[in-house]
Amino acid sequence: MADRDVYHRNPLGTQPLYSHWPYNSTRKRAPTQPLIVQPHTLSETTGPTFAPELVTPRAADLTRQRSGEPLGERMILEGRVMDDGGRPLRRTLVEVWQANAAGRYLHDKDNHDAPLDPNFIGCGQTLTDDDGRYRFVTIRPGAYPWRNHYNAWRPSHIHFSLFGPAFLTRLVTQMYFPGDPLLSLDPIFNCVSDEHARDRLIAELDLSVSKPEWALGYRFDIVLRGRNGTPMENLAHGG
């Protein structure tokens, strides 16, 4: 097929290293042998596609998935999903998951001594529109401790999963907040050696997205693969 060669490799330094010494899990999980390059086939360069009826409007508003509103700082999160040429990617499934305002996930494995919020599940999904735009309403997640090293804390972040037009454009990553002092200390954020690429993981405070007297707005544009691609999270992610 003609499009089979469109998915180029990402430039060096713009994606996380498999092995990043300060991030403990990568020491155990990183490949020790060179990767084997496989030719792209139809199953990787086409699909999946998602029917609009799979996603309800409520799924994009994480503040209205229970009987009451969750505690915390309400926020609006908008962005565009694009390919390497800046073209919008339509009907792309965008999924997010995050900790609550206290830095706690609704998950069996999360034993952080911080309160759960009965009104917050922490998961959302939506499809991009004709301009590649997505929008979520949520609350700003709190920082939380993890056991990578002594006194380790993850900066506030929101996990993203996107499929794009093909499995080769699948992106799993994390979005961060501007000005967070924990960023420079975070081994996961710093798995990406290229500073400009790392900066593409930080949302921008955008007053045009904000709703006066209601919620601050952030913009997070995502590019699937290529020169300006949004970095993926490391395969050995644990935080």
CA atoms within 13 A on the CB side of 172: 9
Q: Which of 90, 131, 87, 83 is nearest to 228 (CA)?
A: 83
107 is catalytic: no
Q: Which of 20, 80, 157, 225 is catalytic?
A: 157
157 is catalytic: yes
134 is catalytic: no
Q: Which of 7, 23, 134, 144 is catalytic?
A: 144
CA atoms within 13 A on the CB side of 82: 15
Q: Which of 20, 23, 74, 105 is catalytic?
A: 105
CA 187 – CA 196 distance, rounded (Å): 17
Q: Which residues contact 36 (CB under 8 A, 6 or more apart)?
A: none
Q: Which of 20, 159, 198, 225 is catalytic?
A: 159
Peptide bond into 16 cis (omega under 30): no
159 is catalytic: yes
On whether the CB atoms of residues 123 and 105 are closer than 8 A, the answer is no
For 29, the 3-state DSSP assignment is helix
Q: Which of 154, 198, 200, 225 is catalytic?
A: 154
20 is catalytic: no
CA 124 – CA 75 distance, rounded (Å): 14
CA 220 – CA 135 distance, rounded (Å): 10
Rg of the chain, C-alpha, whole Å: 18
In which residue are the tokens 């503040």 written? 63
Residues with catalytic annotation?
A: 105, 144, 154, 157, 159
